[in-house]
Amino acid sequence: MKTDRFTLDGKVTIVTGGGQGIGKVVAGELADQGSDIVIFDLQDATEVANQIAEQHGVSAMALVCDVTDPDQVAKAIDQAADRMGTLDLLFNNAGICLHKPALECTPTDFTKVVDVNLNAIFFVAQAFARWLVAHNKQGNIVNTASMSATIVNIPQGQASYNSSKAGVAHLTKSLAVEWAPLGIRVNSISPGYINTEMTGNVREDWRQIWTDMIPFKRMGSPEELAGAVIYLLSDAATYTSGADLIIDGCFTVV
């Protein structure tokens, strides 16, 4: 009999920021591997969840949740577990980007980006891990960092984003070590430029500069990230924690 180490059959995965973009596409691909899906998003993603359920024959639901609010996150975790019966996996992915030169960044600008991209990643991971521990379960987490954790993007100024993502990469390692004895693996993916709603409205001349700089000479698609998330969440990666997988068409290599 063939063994499929990548299967997510019978698992329940929370996907934050699953209302659109990378989260939406990866949620569908996780469902394709057999996982039930719970989307947490600021926007109502019920339609997305219904489509995933119909297309992949899994259970899927959506909860409106601002991941920067620890109380909302804790409630959403309990609600998700109650409705789905259990929780196993987390794709901790919601994020925002601000293109603003550092000299013009207000305290509110900077704090907002760090709140969503770093603080919320911690709040969701913590609430998820607390639920696992309280229910005597093990589980896995993949955080979405970015190649911006490693390099500084140009020509746009985005110091708030870059530093928040560097924080995610190191938070991932910190949680991986702290939670290793609990059987909770924590890894991150670091995408390069990916075609989503986030990058869709950016100035065309900037997008051209980015494309010229990427050795692959094109931006990636969310589908091209899904395999990495499936791998890191699955039993194919049982000895892997604290790792960051950079998926960027060679951008950070040169």
Ligand X SMILES: NC(=O)c1ccc[n+]([C@@H]2O[C@H](COP(=O)([O-])OP(=O)(O)OC[C@H]3O[C@@H](n4cnc5c(N)ncnc54)[C@H](O)[C@@H]3O)[C@@H](O)[C@H]2O)c1
CB 237 within 8 A of CB 187: yes
- Would you count residue 21 as binding ligand X (CB under 6 A)? yes
Which residues form the catalytic set? 146, 161, 165
Query: Please, how many CA atoms are within 13 Å of residue 203, restricted to the half-sphere of its CB?
Result: 7
Task: Work out how close the CB of 10 gets to ligand X at its nearest, in angstroms, rounded to a whole number.
Answer: 26
- Crossing angle between the packed helical segments 120-134 and 70-84, to the nearest 10 degrees: 40
CB 42 within 8 A of CB 115: no
Nearer to ligand X, 19 or 249 (CB): 19
Distances (CA, A) of 123 to 70, 188, 200, 249: 6, 16, 28, 31
- Would you count residue 224 as binding ligand X (CB under 6 A)? no
One-letter amino acid at 194 equals I
Task: Work out how close the CB of 43 gets to ligand X at its nearest, in angstroms, rounded to a whole number.
Answer: 5
Nearer to ligand X, 167 or 191 (CB): 191
One-letter amino acid at 253 equals V
- Would you count residue 191 as binding ligand X (CB under 6 A)? yes
Binding to ligand X in span 125-144, by CB under 6 A: 144
- Would you count residue 244 as binding ligand X (CB under 6 A)? no
Task: Work out how close the CB of 157 gets to ligand X at its nearest, in angstroms, rounded to a whole number.
Answer: 16
Round to whole Å and give the CA distance between 26 and 32: 10
- Would you count residue 153 as binding ligand X (CB under 6 A)? no
- Would you count residue 186 as binding ligand X (CB under 6 A)? no
65 burial class (0-12, 13-18, 19+ CB within 10 angstroms)?
buried
Q: Which of 29, 36, 41, 88 binds ligand X (CB under 6 A)?
A: 41
Task: Work out how close the CB of 95 gets to ligand X at its nearest, in angstroms, rounded to a whole number.
Answer: 2
Q: Which of 13, 33, 93, 187 binds ligand X (CB under 6 A)?
A: 93
- # chain residues binding ligand X, by CB under 6 A: 29
Task: Work out how close the CB of 110 gets to ligand X at its nearest, in angstroms, rounded to a whole number.
Answer: 15
Nearer to ligand X, 61 or 65 (CB): 65
Nearer to ligand X, 17 or 139 (CB): 17
Round to whole Å and give the CA distance between 121 and 246: 18
User: Which residues touch 134 (CB under 8 Å, ≥6 apart)?
Assistant: none
Round to whole Å and give the CA distance between 131 and 219: 37
CB 79 within 8 A of CB 87: no
Provide the binding-site residues for ligand X, judged by CB under 6 A.
Answer: 16-17, 19-23, 41-43, 65-68, 93-97, 116, 144, 146, 191, 193-194, 196-199
